[in-house]
Chains A and B, each alone.
Chain A
Amino acid sequence: MKQEEIGLRVRRIKHGTVIDHIAAGQALNVLRILGITDRSNEVVSVVMNVSDRKKDIVKIEDRELKPEEVDKIALISPDATINIIRDYEVVAKHRVILPSQIEGVVRCMNPNCITNTDEPVRPRFVIHRNDAVELHCVYCGRVISERIADFLI
Chain B
Amino acid sequence: MIRHVINITDLSRDEIDRILDRAAELEPIAHRGSSNILSGRILATLFYEPSTRTRLSFDAAMKRLGGDVIDFGPIESSSIAKGENLADTISVISGYADAIVLRHPKEGAARMASEFSSVPVINAGDGAGQHPTQTLLDLYTIRKESHLSNVKIALVGDLRYGRTVHSLAHALSLYNARIYLVSPDQLQMPDSIKGDLINSGTRITETTDIDDIIDVVDVLYLTRIQKERFPDPGEYQMVAGSYRITNETLRNVKDDLIIMHPLPRAGEIDCEVDASKHAIYFKQSFYGVPVRMAILSMVME
Contact = CB atoms under 8 A, between A and B. Distances in A.
Nearest to B130: A141
A119 B85 contact: yes
A119 B129 contact: no
A43 interface: no
Which of B7, B108, B126, B192 counts the most chain A CB atoms within 10 A?
Answer: B108
A140 B85 contact: no
Question: Nearest 8 A-B pairs (CB), nearest first?
Answer: A139-B108, A140-B107, A140-B108, A114-B108, A114-B106, A114-B109, A139-B111, A114-B112
B25 interface: no
B80 interface: no
Given A112-B127, A140-B129, A143-B192, A121 B87 contact: yes
B87 to A, nearest CB: 5
Contact of B107 (A110, A118, A119, A120): A110
Contacts of A139: 107-109, 111-112
Nearest to A115: B108
Contacts of A112: 105-107, 127-128
Contact of B106 (A117, A138, A141, A142): A117
A112 B85 CA distance: 16
Contacts of B111: 114, 138-139
B6 to A, nearest CB: 10
Given A112-B105, A120-B85, 15 more contacts: A112-B128, A113-B107, A114-B104, A114-B106, A114-B108, A114-B112, A115-B112, A121-B87, A121-B115, A137-B108, A138-B108, A138-B111, A139-B108, A141-B107, A141-B108
B273 interface: no
A50 to B, nearest CB: 38
Interface in A112-151: 112-115, 117-121, 137-143
18 contacts: A110-B107, A112-B106, A112-B127, A113-B106, A113-B107, A114-B86, A114-B107, A114-B109, A114-B112, A119-B87, A119-B112, A121-B115, A139-B109, A140-B127, A140-B129, A141-B130, A142-B107, A143-B192
A117 B112 CA distance: 12
Contacts of B7: 141
Contacts of A120: 85, 87
Contacts of B86: 114, 119
Contact of B108 (A113, A118, A143): A113
A118 B86 CA distance: 9
A72 to B, nearest CB: 22
Which of A117, A139, A141 counts the most chain B CB atoms within 10 A?
Answer: A139
Interface in B127-175: 127-130
Interface string A15-59: 000000000000000000000000000000000000000000000
B127 to A, nearest CB: 5
B106 A118 contact: no
Contacts of B127: 112, 140
A121 B112 contact: yes
Nearest to A138: B111
Interface in B87-118: 87, 104-109, 111-112, 115
A55 to B, nearest CB: 33
A118 B7 CA distance: 23
A110 B109 CA distance: 13
Contacts of B107: 110, 112-114, 139-142
A41 B87 CA distance: 36
A114 B90 CA distance: 14
Contacts of A115: 108, 112
A63 to B, nearest CB: 33
A135 to B, nearest CB: 14
Which of A112, A115, A138, A143 counts the most chain B CB atoms within 10 A?
Answer: A112
Contacts of B130: 141
Interface string B36-56: 000000000000000000000
Contacts of A118: 85
